[in-house]
Amino acid sequence: MPDRSLVVNRRAFLGGAALAATGLLLRPARAEAMGGSLPEIGKPAPGFDLDGVAPAADGEVGPTHLTKGDFQGRWLALYFYPKDFTSGCTLEARGFQRDLAAFHTRQAQVVGVSADDPEAHLSFCGSEGLAYPLLSDPGGAVSRSYGSWLAPFSARHTFLIDPDGVLRASWLAVRPSGHSQEVLAELTRLQGEASL
């Protein structure tokens, strides 16, 4: 049987280390995540200007070029993910697709971003029946600006941006299962606050 004092001391040490690490990661001016400096809630979200794929009016998915300004006047759920066709990323993408009509009902768009090239995105959208844009950030410049770059991949983070381009919520190192429902619930809550 292990020495109980050793277990308690190890727990106390790990708890203290976690608190110390939290203090190092959370600075008053800017928060840090494993992927870099996070944009601040309540401030303008970082811009983006990326190529990718998106559904056209006829429903066919094809090349696109989107900027943050293209979403002015609408809410935006911008999610970063590591790689097309991996199990977690596929699960997360399917969740957003399943809830896409509910996002649209709330005047919100969903956009995914990864380091994959547009051709991989096109294949992924076709394979999974995705009807929302996927953007390519091969060098990680946009992912870095959102604190979501763990070279050579984007980290699994999500950001909710309001119609004025202001960051209203973020999720770090998300669990793919049920994540779109979390984002949808927060969107609904924030829209309810705005209508008061």
Catalytic residue among 38, 54, 76, 89: 89
> For this structure, is 125 an active site residue?
no
- What is the end-to-end Cα distance of the chain in Å, rounded? 59
Backbone angles phi, psi at 20, to 5 degrees: -65, -40
Q: Are 99 and 109 in contact (CB under 8 A)?
A: no
Residues carrying an active site annotation = 89
